[in-house]
Amino acid sequence: ETGVTQTPRHLVMGMTNKKSLKCEQHLGHNAMYWYKQSAKKPLELMFVYNFKEQTENNSVPSRFSPECPNSSHLFLHLHTLQPEDSALYLCASSQGQGGDTEAFFGQGTRLTVV
C-alpha cells in the first residue's frame, strides 16, 4: 500500500463510450501525475499537476482530458478512445519541488478499448 489509490482497477470500454479514471492520495503531496504503459513499453508521462495547476502535457491527444479539483484527487476523463489506447494507466504523487522527493505510484487501471 503506497497511499495512492486508483479506481477502477480494470475497465473495458467501447470506442464510443465516455469513462473516467480516478486517483486519490492521502499523503499530503502537492504534485500528481498520469502515466501510460502500453504492453512491453516504458512508462510514458502524460500529465503533471502541481497544486492543482497543470504543469506538463506531453502532447497527449485531446480524447484524454485530465482534471485536478484539489491536490488529493486526479481524474482522467476518456472519450472516443481507440483500441491502441488500451494500456495500464498509472497515477503517482510526490511532495516538494526539488529532485530529493520520491514519487509514489498507485496500482494502476488496466484499460481495454474494444
Partner 1 sequence: DAKTTQPPSMDCAEGRAANLPCNHSTISGNEYVYWYRQIHSQGPQYIIHGLKNNETNEMASLIITEDRKSSTLILPHATLRDTAVYYCIVRPDYSGTYKYIFGTGTRLKVLA
Q: How many angstroms separate the CA atoms of 21 and 33, rounded?
A: 13
Is the CB of residue 51 less than 8 Å from the CB of residue 71? yes
| 102 in contact with partner 1 (CB under 8 A) | yes
> Which of 67/79 has CB closer to partner 1?
67
Is the CB of residue 85 less than 8 Å from the CB of residue 77? no
The one segment of 14-22, 45-53, 60-68, 77-85 that binds partner 1 by CB under 8 A:
45-53
Helix runs in 26-109, H state only? none
The site for partner 1 (CB under 8 A) is made up of 2, 4, 6, 31, 33, 35, 42-43, 45, 48, 50, 55-56, 88, 90, 92, 94, 97-100, 102-108, 110
